[in-house]
Amino acid sequence: MRILGRGRIKTVLVTGGAGYIGSHICVELLDAGLEVIVVDNLSNSSQEALNRVEKIAGKTVLFYQIDLQDKARVKTVFETHTIDAVIHLAGLKSVGDSGRLPLKYYQNNIYSTLVLLEMLEQFSVKNIVFSSSATVYGDPATVPVTEQFPLRATNPYGRTKLMIEEILRDVANSSHIQVVLLRYFNPIGAHESGLIGEAPNGSPNNLLPYVSQVAMGQRDKVLIFGGDYPTIDGTGVRDYIHVVDLAKGHIRALQKIAENEGKGERCQAYNLGTGHGHSVIEVINAFEEACGHKITYKIVDRRSGDIAECYANPNLANQKLNWRAEKTLPEMMKDTWRWQTKNPKGYKSD
């Protein structure tokens, strides 16, 4: 087993580790020689993802199917193991659902975090990395977006991220806990093995799973919301980042806080993006290259709350975390297509 940094991180608890991003992070943690414990209630994931993580890494993950809101059961995990750091991904993430069910989002995302932080305080766990989002920048006045931009969410999901960032900042200022806030831009792609990837329940909320389901013939066409934005071709522009690059960013973040050992910034935010934007049409064209056939799409009205253009300035993460997104858009498409064709029903076997 390896130990990360002078802060001696060897065992990492990953909340939401069975999910799309979490499963890719587990692979990177195991590859880095760390011990991995996952707590997930499987509300939006499958334990099969963790079986596949073990297959890729050739190492085991300790899994607890627990809802993070269940304080007594979460406490038993902290009583049983010495945890050195937490990567906190567990949460609900659909912008649309959060508008319809705001209380469910506040209850699940915020209360889970409060339970977790109480455990960190009680069991003297010093380090936490939180999955935040570019959504905390709302509709940025200009691009690329730096960490200094004003924070302003435009929907309940985004507000849970903002509120959790604030809570974590307060906790970092008042306790032994060091915090890294990772603001993800648009994670896509899948592990190159084709064994793990994004497996949405029901209708996908994000572009890529939708495009790949159309490419598979499982859906008729891609609906593009808005063709009259002031962008290169009128469609929305986003910073798509390969999920494996994103996962590697978490290892660098852990390394950073392990080296800090309580010195330096107690709560630091980093953008994890490529620094480049691609329009919806560019993504569809790149996907056509990967799958070898045309993808039908239709441009419809803009969706309320959507923004024209958002991409990161990732310089801070490049410099301070010594991390850089490396994979190209064609690689992201190729890996998504491999995952989709090998697993047309996601993790379901029937």
- Nearer to ligand NAD by C-beta: 3 or 206? 206
If binding is defined by CB under 6 A, does position 140 make contact with ligand NAD?
Answer: no
Least Å distance, CB 293 to ligand NAD, is 26
Cα Rg of the chain, angstroms? 19
If binding is defined by CB under 6 A, does position 108 make contact with ligand NAD?
Answer: yes
Bridge partners (DSSP) of residue 262 are none
If binding is defined by CB under 6 A, does position 184 make contact with ligand NAD?
Answer: yes
Q: Count the Cβ atoms, other than its own, within 10 Å of residue 183.
A: 25
If binding is defined by CB under 6 A, does position 274 make contact with ligand NAD?
Answer: no
Return d(Cα 89, Cα 58) in angstroms, integer.
23
Q: Where are the alpha helices (DSSP H) in 180-328?
A: 207-215, 243-260, 280-291, 315-320
- Nearer to ligand NAD by C-beta: 238 or 256? 238
Among 28, 35, 40, 147, binds ligand NAD (CB under 6 A): 40
Q: Are 200 and 339 in contact (CB under 8 A)?
A: no
Query: What are the residues whose beta carbons fall under 8 Å from the beta carbon of 241, sequence distance 6 or more?
Result: 184, 185, 186, 187, 188, 272, 273, 274, 325
Give the number of C-alpha atoms closer than 13 A to the C-alpha of residue 169, restricted to the C-beta side: 9
Q: Of 155, 114, 341, 306, whose CA–CA distance to 223 is shortest?
A: 306
Tokens at residue 70, please? 């269940």
Choose the binding region for ligand NAD from 16-24, 28-36, 147-155, 272-280 (rule: CB under 6 A).
16-24
If binding is defined by CB under 6 A, does position 239 make contact with ligand NAD?
Answer: no
If binding is defined by CB under 6 A, does position 314 make contact with ligand NAD?
Answer: no
Among 50, 90, 181, 290, binds ligand NAD (CB under 6 A): 90
Q: Are 244 and 24 in contact (CB under 8 A)?
A: yes
Among 3, 10, 42, 123, binds ligand NAD (CB under 6 A): 42
- Nearer to ligand NAD by C-beta: 42 or 223? 42
Among 133, 155, 260, 313, binds ligand NAD (CB under 6 A): 133
Q: Where are the alpha helices (DSSP H) in the chain?
A: 20-31, 47-57, 71-80, 95-100, 102-105, 112-122, 156-174, 207-215, 243-260, 280-291, 315-320, 329-342
Catalytic positions, written as ranges? 157
Among 43, 76, 218, 319, binds ligand NAD (CB under 6 A): 43
Choose the binding region for ligand NAD from 85-93, 222-230, 302-310, 312-320 (rule: CB under 6 A).
85-93
Among 36, 61, 83, 93, binds ligand NAD (CB under 6 A): 93
If binding is defined by CB under 6 A, does position 16 make contact with ligand NAD?
Answer: yes
Return d(Cα 250, Cα 129) in angstroms, integer.
8
Least Å distance, CB 29 to ligand NAD, is 15
Binding mask 188-227 for ligand NAD (x = CB under 6 A): ------------------x---------------------
Q: Are 300 and 223 in contact (CB under 8 A)?
A: yes
If binding is defined by CB under 6 A, does position 21 make contact with ligand NAD?
Answer: yes
Count the site residues for ligand NAD by CB under 6 A.
Answer: 28
Going from the C-alpha of 325 to that of each of 177, 253, 284, 328, the distances in angstroms are 28, 14, 21, 9
Tell me which residues touch ligand NAD (CB under 6 A): 16, 18-22, 40-45, 67-69, 89-93, 108, 112, 131, 133, 184, 186-187, 206
